[in-house]
C-alpha cells in the first residue's frame, strides 16, 4: 500500500499594504455598503437586471432621475454597460433614464461640440446604428429646446433635425479619424461637403464645420475613467495578454506586497516576494520580473503565479501556531487549503 504524500500548503505574508484610495480619487469601492456593491456588480454584468434590483432594494434609487444621478456620480459603473442601457430601444424605462441622464449636463448656452463631448465622456456609445440614433435623437431634442434662441458664431440651429444630423456626422467623423482599422481618412473638405449636402444642414457655415473637423482631429471623443480604466493600466504591467484581465464587472480592491511561503512535507518554510492584486471577484498572486521586451519604458512587469476565484473558495482566519495571523483559502470542491499571512 502506497503511503500518501501530504500536499504542499501555500501561504503568504503581507507587508506594505497599498489600498485602493491611492488610485481612486473618489470613495473606495470597498467602503461602499454591501447592497450598493452588489447592485454595481449586477449592473456591470446585466444593466436591465440591475434596474430591477435598484427599484426593489433602494428607496432613494427608485425613479429614472435618481438612477441617472447614480450613474453619473458613481465611478464604479462600466461606461460600456451604461451605453448599453441608454441605447436599449425597446425599454421605455431606459428611455426615461436617458432623458434624465441628458438633463444632468449643462447645455444651455454651451457650444454644441463642447456639450456633446462632455456627454460622450460619461458612457461608451453602443455600436448598433439604431441605438446610436436613439441616443443622439434625444440629446439633439433637448439641446435644441435649450438653445433655440441662441446664436453660436453667428449661426442659429434651425430645428432638432439639423442638430441631430450634425451630431451624427460628428460621431461618424470621430470613428473615421481615430479608428486604426480605417486606412483612408475623411478629409476636411469631404466632411464639409457631405454635411452640407443634407437638407437640414445646408445652411451651416463652412467655417463652423471646418472647426468641428479640426477639433475632433486634434482630440477625439473619449470615454471617461471607469473601473476598466484601472484594469487596462494594470494589464500593461503583466507579461502576457492571454489573461482575461479586463472585464466590466471587475473592481480593484487593493494592491499590496508580500511573501509567498512554501511549506514542504518536512515543514520547512521558504519565503518568496510576491505582489497581490485583490479584486471583488478574485485574488491574483504575481511575481515581479524584468520586462519581456527590453525596449519597453517600464522597469518591471508581473508574471501571474496563481489566480484564486473567490466564488470557488471559502476564506477564513487561521490562527495556528505554525502560521499565525493568516487567512486560509479553502476550495469549495475539496479540502486543500491555501493560506495567506496578513
Mean pLDDT of the 307-332 span: 72
Which of 172, 175, 213 minimizes the C-alpha distance to 192?
A: 213
Same domain, 156 and 143: yes
95 lies in the same domain as 125: no
111, 215: one domain: yes
Give me the percent of the chain exceeding a pLDDT of 90.
49
pLDDT digits 0-9 by tens, 248-274: 999 988 887 777 777 777 777 777 788
Q: DSSP per residue over 205-268, as a string? A: -HHHHHHHHHHHHHS-------HHHHHHHHHTTBS-S-S----TT--EEEEEEEEEEEE-TT--
Residues 141 and 179 in one domain: yes
Please check whether residues 255 and 277 belong to one and the same domain: yes
Residues 46 and 90: beta-carbon distance below 8 Å: no
Burial of 250 (0-12, 13-18, 19+ CB in 10 A): buried
Among 66-75, 112-121, 309-318, the minimum mean pLDDT is found in: 309-318
pLDDT for position 325:
57
From 79, 104, 129, give the residue that closes a domain.
104
Q: What element of type H or E holds 49?
A: helix 47-57
Which pLDDT value is given to residue 318?
Answer: 63
- Number of Cβ atoms within 10 Å of the Cβ of 107: 22
pLDDT at residue 11, as a whole number: 46
**Which grid cell is 298?**
517600464
The answer to the question of residue 37 being in a domain is yes
214/123 same-domain check: yes
Q: Within 10 A of 70 (CB to CB), how many other CB atoms are there?
A: 19
Q: What is the pLDDT of residue 150?
A: 86
C-alpha Rg value of the chain to the nearest Å:
26
Whether residue 216 is found in the same domain as residue 128: yes
Question: For residue 30, what is the domain's CATH number?
Answer: 1.10.220.20
CATH number for the domain harbouring residue 302: 2.30.29.30
Residue 7 belongs to some domain of the structure: no
Residue 92 shares a structural domain with residue 129: no
Tens digit of each residue's pLDDT (9 = 90 or more) over 130-150? 999 999 999 999 999 999 888
Q: Do residues 255 and 286 both lie within one domain?
A: yes
Which residue spans within the chain are E strands per DSSP? 9-19, 252-263, 269-279, 282-289, 301-309, 313-318, 326-331, 338-341
192 and 128 inside one domain: yes
3 state SS of 90: coil
pTM, 2 dp: 0.82
In a domain, 297, yes or no: yes
Does 315 score more than 80 pLDDT? no
- Binned at pLDDT 50, 70 and 90, residue 83 comes out as very high
Asked if the structure places residue 10 within a domain, the reply is no
Q: In which domain, by residue range, is 117 found?
A: 107-224
Question: Mean pLDDT across the stretch 164-192?
Answer: 95
Tell me the C-alpha distance between 66 and 144, whole Å: 24
**Is the model's pLDDT at 220 over the cut of 60?**
yes
Query: Which residue bears the cell 442659429?
Result: 156
- Rounded mean pLDDT, 150-171: 92
In a domain, 333, yes or no: no
Which of these three, 224, 259, 291, is where a domain ends? 224
Q: Does the residue 83 lie in any domain?
A: yes
Domain co-membership, 123 together with 98: no
Whether 316 is covered by a domain: the verdict is no
204 and 263 belong to one structural domain: no
- pLDDT beyond 70 at 18: no
Q: What is the CATH number of the domain that holds 173?
A: 1.10.1000.11
The DSSP output letter for 62 is -
Higher pLDDT pick, 332 / 34: 34
Residues 6+ apart with CB under 8 A from 210: 188, 192
What is the residue-averaged pLDDT of the chain? 83
Amino acid at each position: 500500500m502506497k503511503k500518501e504524500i501530504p500536499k504542499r500548503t501555500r501561504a503568504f505574508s503581507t507587508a506594505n499594504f497599498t489600498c485602493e484610495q491611492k488610485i481612486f480619487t473618489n470613495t473606495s469601492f470597498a467602503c461602499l455598503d454591501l447592497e450598493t456593491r452588489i447592485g454595481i456588480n449586477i449592473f456591470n454584468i446585466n444593466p436591465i437586471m440591475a434596474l430591477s434590483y435598484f427599484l426593489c432594494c433602494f428607496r432613494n434609487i427608485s425613479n429614472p432621475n435618481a438612477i441617472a444621478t447614480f450613474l453619473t456620480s458613481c465611478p464604479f459603473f462600466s461606461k460600456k454597460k451604461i451605453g448599453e442601457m441608454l441605447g436599449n430601444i425597446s425599454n421605455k424605462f431606459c428611455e426615461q433614464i436617458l432623458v434624465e441622464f441628458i438633463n444632468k449636463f449643462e447645455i444651455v448656452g454651451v457650444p454644441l461640440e463642447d456639450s456633446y463631448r462632455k456627454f460622450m465622456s460619461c458612457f461608451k456609445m453602443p455600436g448598433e446604428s439604431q441605438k446610436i440614433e436613439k441616443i443622439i435623437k434625444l440629446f439633439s431634442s433637448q439641446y435644441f429646446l435649450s438653445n433655440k434662441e441662441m446664436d453660436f458664431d453667428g449661426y442659429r440651429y434651425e430645428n432638432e433635425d439639423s442638430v441631430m444630423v450634425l451630431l451624427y456626422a460628428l460621431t461618424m467623423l470621430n470613428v473615421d479619424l481615430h479608428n486604426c482599422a480605417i486606412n483612408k481618412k475623411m478629409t476636411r473638405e469631404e466632411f464639409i461637403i457631405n454635411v452640407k449636402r443634407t437638407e437640414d444642414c445646408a445652411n451651416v457655415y463652412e467655417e463652423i464645420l471646418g472647426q468641428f473637423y479640426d477639433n475632433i482631429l486634434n482630440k477625439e471623443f473619449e470615454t471617461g475613467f471607469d473601473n476598466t480604466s484601472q484594469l487596462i493600466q494594470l494589464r500593461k504591467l503583466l507579461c502576457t495578454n492571454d489573461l482575461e484581465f479586463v472585464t466590466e464587472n471587475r473592481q480593484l480592491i487593493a494592491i499590496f506586497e508580500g511573501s509567498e511561503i512554501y511549506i514542504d512535507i518536512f515543514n520547512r518554510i521558504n519565503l518568496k516576494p510576491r505582489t497581490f492584486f485583490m479584486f471583488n471577484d478574485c485574488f491574483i498572486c504575481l511575481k515581479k520580473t524584468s520586462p519581456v521586451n527590453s525596449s519597453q519604458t517600464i522597469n518591471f512587469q508581473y508574471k501571474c503565479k496563481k489566480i484564486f476565484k473567490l466564488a470557488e473558495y471559502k476564506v477564513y482566519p487561521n490562527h495556528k501556531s505554525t502560521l499565525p495571523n493568516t487567512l486560509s483559502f479553502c476550495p469549495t470542491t475539496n479540502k486543500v487549503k491555501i493560506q495567506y499571512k496578513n
